[in-house]
Amino acid sequence: MAISALQFERSKYAPKLPKALQGPVKVVEGKKTESVADQEEIQKLFPNTYGMPLITFEEGGDAGSLPVMNVGVILSGGQAPGGHNVISGLYDGLKKLNPENKLYGFLGGPGGLVDHKYMELTDEIIDEYRNTGGFDIIGSGRTKLEEESQFDKGVEICKQLNINALVVIGGDDSNTNACVLAEYYLQKETGIQVIGCPKTIDGDLKNEMIETSFGFDTAVKVYSELIGNIMRDANSAKKYWHFIKLMGRSASHIALECALQTQPNIALVSEEVAEKEQTLAEIVDYIAKVIARRAEDDHNFGVVLVPEGLIEFIPEMKTLITELNDLLAEGQQSANDFKALATDAEKREYVIGKLSEASSKVFASLPEGIAKQLTLDRDPHGNVQVSKIETEKLLIEMVDVRLAEMKKEGFYKGSFSAQNHFFGYEGRCAAPSNFDADYCYSLGSTASVLIGNGKTGYMSSVRNTTKPADEWIAGGVPITMMMNMERRHGHMKPVIQKALVELDAAPFLKLAENREKWAVETSYVYPGPIQYFGPTEVCDATTKTLELEQSK
């Protein structure tokens, strides 16, 4: 494989580890746990993995070699920078436990487990992928492990390869599947352990034990570099308003972090929109007023950050999308009837006739393009694919109309010309930052220790991450501790609770404190590209979000 000069130098980087993982490990069990909500329902569904204790690793364990184990690893869901380092940390950790241990990678995500597609990961393969972005070492996929027949197919291949444990590297839904798998394998006494690792650039897999999901740090630094480049262009040309949609399906963590790093004129936060019950018209009016205010100073340019999931948090749109998700849910007769219609016009009229009166009016008022995007095939979890909804274009169109009205009313004297952007895939496979390279390697190493100590139904946890890496605290958190019941595909199901932006927490309060100043002034910050070599304050810095959350 041809490699760049950067990749060659990065291959030499030795990720830093917490002190507890640098030598023999002592496993310390803490208090028993319970789910974050719906305790009775979750306990009934997970009788074998519910209530397990928190686990912390300390220095000074038994240095003896453990019996030979074979382990399988799965990359699940969308890519996130650092996945290869999770696997290399897992591989090195297993070899440290016993040099005869083997690691098998299931190809193409969870489907590889079901379809028995795999490869053994060796020194030669692992070394080629250390500190690189992407999931291409074994590929990823979005097959959901929900059916017992799938679980049983997994048992078949694990028995064939003498696999003792599986590691699922994924987001909230993937780790929910991992917990379901762990529970089933315990019930059936298969002897197969299941461990999860927290992955998602969206940043919404976080709680008191999971401070951040891996990939978030790298992705927001990539996006912030791009935003800074656009800001500099805007401040140079002084003639465009740039509307930038940022990946983040539900939570606005990416948009908020990028705002803290770059200081745009406007940064919308979906959770605030929901809290204040802002209508689409109110959001448009707010943007238009900022544009008009800057125009008074002859600043007919600016930058607006738009979270990908914004449209689902606008009250009337949220209600509409909920009704559409139920109407078009897989297996529903209405979904089949809808797909059978020949033209977009027929489909539009069909939907209007099936919705509640209020939602019908909202749907009918939307531009045809946006209305069509809202009825596209659902994602694997039964939800609208918000990444395909061009919210940034919708806002530009509506702001343009509102500014024209304001100009007639004498409240706006500027000129408005807009450019739209969507930053998503650009950040998902970037070469991991030093933070993510270290963090991911630690997560993989942690998974190996959990496996070596016979644990199952746990997620790797590495905390205290604003401190130097050797001060990080590694351990495990029961996946059931993070669960609640949510509506999926029209049914209530156990899932890991998403962590949304907290409006009373330090990161959002920092934005709120500076919002008016950044709106009027051109206070842009240009972060530049990720740095891998140089001063630690430049190369090892974590996100503003983590800094603010941990500063006490």
Residues annotated catalytic, as ranges: 202
Q: Could you give the CA distance from residue 441 to residue 455 in angstroms, rounded to a whole number?
A: 19
Cα-Cα end-to-end distance for the chain: 47
C-alpha 7/C-alpha 140 separation (Å) is 22
- The rounded distance, in Å, linking the Cα atoms of 406 and 14 is 58
Q: Residue 86: which residues within 8 A CB-CB, separation 6 or more?
A: 169, 197, 199, 214, 440, 441, 443, 444, 447
353: exposed, middle or buried (Cβ count in 10 Å: 0-12, 13-18, 19+)? exposed
- Structural tokens at position 323: 């009704």
Separation of alpha carbons 225 and 218, rounded Å: 11
Distances (CA, A) of 237 to 241, 257, 295, 300: 11, 26, 15, 10
CB 152 within 8 A of CB 120: no
Closest by alpha carbon to 24, among 58, 56, 63? 63
Alpha-carbon distances of 277 from 129, 231, 253, 384, rounded to whole Å: 46, 30, 19, 21
- From 350, 353, 372, select the one nearest 361 (Cα to Cα): 353
Q: What is the dihedral of CA 37, 43, 48, 54, to 10 degrees?
A: 30
CB within 8 Å of 234: residues ≥ 6 apart: 240, 241, 242, 301, 302, 303
The 10 Å Cβ neighbour count of residue 10 is: 20
223: nearest Cα among 246, 190, 192, 251: 246
Report strand pairing: 491-496 vs 483-488: antiparallel
Q: Which two tokens stand for residue 134?
A: 């992407």
Query: What is the Cα–Cα distance from 194 to 170, expressed in whole angstroms?
Result: 13
Residues in the chain: 552
The C-alpha atoms of residue 440 and residue 457 are separated, in whole angstroms, by 19
Of residues 148, 138, 118, the one with CA closest to residue 75: 138
Alpha-carbon radius of gyration of the chain: 24
b/e code 131-165 from CB counts within 10 Å (16+ = b): bbbbbebbbbbbbbbeeeebbebbbebbeebebbb
Instruction: Check: CB of residue 508 under 8 Å from CB of residue 256.
Output: yes
